[in-house]
Amino acid sequence: MSTFCFVHPETNEIHERVYQSYKDVPKYIKVEGVKCERCAMAEIAGQGGQQASTWPVHSNALGMSQKEDQEKYRNFLNKKGLDVNFDSRGRMILRTKKHRKAVCEALGYTDMDGGHGDPFCG
């Protein structure tokens, strides 16, 4: 049995499915009525739900499970000029490195393991 990845065309969220045989794997699946095509790059990357290109990132660290809390975060960041969304598992979707840096800095977060251009508060 192997895991195969399918990407949502609007949110870039990766949906994983397990199939017995390669012959059983469809070219696409439907998730809530939306056609999600197979994403071999996500399978090759082996990043458990992250595309090989890295962006967008679905952040567990910045995510939250409650819809009300997601709305509070969204409203707070919207007031700072930042647009954020959450995937169906409550993870915040960070579109680019620049977007991630802006969100983290707006929230006062630091990435102590980050490299050049990553959020850091000295």
**In the predicted structure, residue 14 carries a pLDDT above the cut 80:** yes
Q: 21-71 pLDDT, tens per residue? A: 888 899 999 998 999 999 877 777 654 444 445 678 888 888 888 888 899
CA proximity to 86, closest of 68, 111, 109:
68
Instruction: Classify burial at 107, counting beta carbons within 10 Å of its beta carbon; exposed 0-12, middle 13-18, buried 19 or more.
Output: middle
- Contacting residues for 79 by C-beta, under 8 A, at least 6 apart: none
Tokens coding 85: 């969304």
